């Protein structure tokens, strides 16, 4: 299957999540991604994850999760010979992605201004917590820091539990996806190339459109609503038999269908539930009346019935549960690699939320061991055996 980014070479100088996640998307869309890692230690994510044995092997779960399909080379950018061989590699590349603190690449002599002299049409993407300028530019930025600074934590949870961290690294992944989109767009530009400044903070804020606009336009400060949808009622998570059930009866016709199906049509005659705004004001009492019926049967049964009649609903599932349902398991979303080198067993990883002409883009190769492709990549640059040996001996690669 032809892929949109075939014949695009990306140099991935990133660590841990935002940058690797960005380049993970590019790899699945056909780009050749060469992961340029520090000599001896590589990406910090190699030592992170829920399996201590894999961490000790430099193949941590956090690394495996978003590095399939990439090649790995090692280079010491602080060594003059390492920097020189890296610059030779840049001449062959279309894209460079890095997520160092602003200014680090320039101090190493491999910032955008230097690299574009070698490759004028280079797309250079710098991912950072707060962007390349401004009073916070030198602050360290981890996912939780961005979640807190962006306001995400202030609106997550309910009045009693907020502020809460979202249960996965949403700032890293949103920042990475924003970077992947910007890179793909820049590759299609005329002229091609340029400097992309990706702020994780601004990337997250841009996804908070409704919450931010309620403040900017309507003058309402966003606050935590827990599992309730503040724009409508009944809309939120309801107690059913054996677990929680999401229901989104956001339209008046869905409200009618829901109450009919639950034998609660009489609620529509009550003045406190007459309109959407009335239902929103009295949502707590309304929720209690609906839950009395829902508790009599399992959440998954209700979900099937309600969806069938046109009321959006779904049982709240765990990660293992959703991965096992046919909607995910049968659509090529998960990719299996057999007997992965450095891991010693089969692994399954996620791909992307994209289908191209009905098929899920996949990569052929599992996540690489540190420096696995040194011989291949450096030899492609024309390095001789003696040059390779000298560079290894000196610690340059």
CB-based contact 25:187 (threshold 8 Å): no
Residues 291, 297, 299, 305, Cα dihedral to 10°: -100
Residues 108, 113, 119, 122, Cα dihedral to 10°: 100
| From 81, 172, 269, 278, the catalytic residue | 172
DSSP secondary structure of 31-74: -EEEEEE-TTT--GGGG-SS-HHHHHTT--HHHHTT-TT-EEEE
Q: Active-site residue 385, yes or no? A: no
For the chain, the helix, strand and coil percentages under 3-state DSSP, each to the nearest 5: 40, 15, 45
DSSP secondary structure of 264-307: -GGGGGSGGGSSHHHHHHTHHHHHHHHHHHHTTSBHHHHHHHHH
SS (H, E, C) 298-333: EHHHHHHHHHHHCCCEEECCCHHHHHHCHHHHCCCC
CB-based contact 62:45 (threshold 8 Å): yes
DSSP secondary structure of 382-393: T--HHHHHHHHH
User: Which residue bears the tokens 């160092």?
Assistant: 100
CB-based contact 246:294 (threshold 8 Å): no
In whole angstroms, give the CA distance from residue 266 to residue 168. Answer: 42
In whole angstroms, give the CA distance from residue 30 to residue 6. Answer: 5
Q: In 3D, which of 68, 124, 95, 81 has the Cα closest to residue 372? A: 68
DSSP bridge pairs for 31 = none
Q: Write phi, then psi, for 335 (nearest 5 degrees).
A: -120, 135
Q: 229-250: b or e for each residue (b if 16 or more CB lie within 10 Å)?
A: bbebbbbbbbbbeeebbbbbbb
In whole angstroms, give the CA distance from residue 49 to residue 70. Answer: 19
Q: Which residues are catalytic?
A: 172
């Amino acid at each position: 299957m032809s892929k949109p980014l075939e014949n695009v070479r990306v140099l991935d100088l990133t660590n841990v999540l935002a940058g690797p996640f960005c380049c993970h998307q590019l790899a699945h869309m056909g780009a050749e991604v060469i992961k340029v890692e520090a000599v001896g230690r590589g990406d910090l994510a190699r030592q992170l994850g829920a399996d201590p044995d894999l961490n000790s092997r430099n193949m941590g779960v956090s690394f495996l999760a978003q590095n399939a399909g990439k090649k790995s080379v090692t280079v010491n950018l602080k060594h003059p010979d390492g920097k020189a061989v890296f610059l030779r590699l840049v001449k062959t590349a279309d894209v460079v992605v890095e997520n160092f603190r602003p200014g680090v690449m320039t101090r190493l002599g491999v910032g955008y201004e230097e690299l574009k002299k070698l490759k004028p049409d280079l797309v250079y993407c710098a991912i950072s917590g707060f962007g390349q300028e401004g009073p916070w530019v030198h602050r360290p930025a981890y996912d939780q820091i961005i979640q807190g600074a962006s306001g995400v934590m202030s609106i997550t949870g309910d009045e009693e539990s907020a502020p809460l961290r979202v249960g996965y690294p949403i700032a890293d992944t949103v920042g990475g996806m924003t970077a992947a989109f910007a890179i793909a767009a820049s590759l299609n530009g005329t002229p091609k190339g340029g400097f992309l400044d990706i702020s994780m903070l601004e990337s997250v804020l841009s996804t908070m459109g409704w919450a931010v606009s309620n403040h900017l336009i309507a003058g309402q400060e966003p606050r935590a609503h827990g599992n309730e949808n503040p724009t409508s009622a009944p809309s939120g998570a309801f107690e059913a038999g054996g677990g929680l059930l999401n229901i989104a009866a956001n339209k008046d016709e869905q409200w009618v269908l829901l109450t009919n199906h639950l034998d609660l049509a009489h609620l529509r005659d009550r003045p406190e539930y007459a309109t959407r705004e009335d239902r929103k004001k009295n949502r707590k009492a309304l929720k209690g009346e609906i839950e009395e019926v829902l508790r009599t049967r399992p959440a998954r049964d209700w979900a099937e019935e309600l969806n069938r009649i046109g009321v959006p609903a779904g049982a709240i599932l765990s990660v293992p549960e959703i991965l096992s349902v046919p909607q995910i398991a049968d659509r090529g979303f998960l990719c299996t690699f057999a007997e992965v080198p450095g891991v010693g067993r089969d692994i399954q990883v996620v791909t992307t939320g994209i289908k191209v002409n009905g098929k899920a883009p996949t990569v052929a190769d599992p996540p690489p061991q540190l420096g696995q492709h040194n011989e291949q990549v450096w030899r492609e640059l024309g390095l001789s055996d003696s040059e390779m040996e000298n560079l290894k001996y000196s610690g340059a690669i």
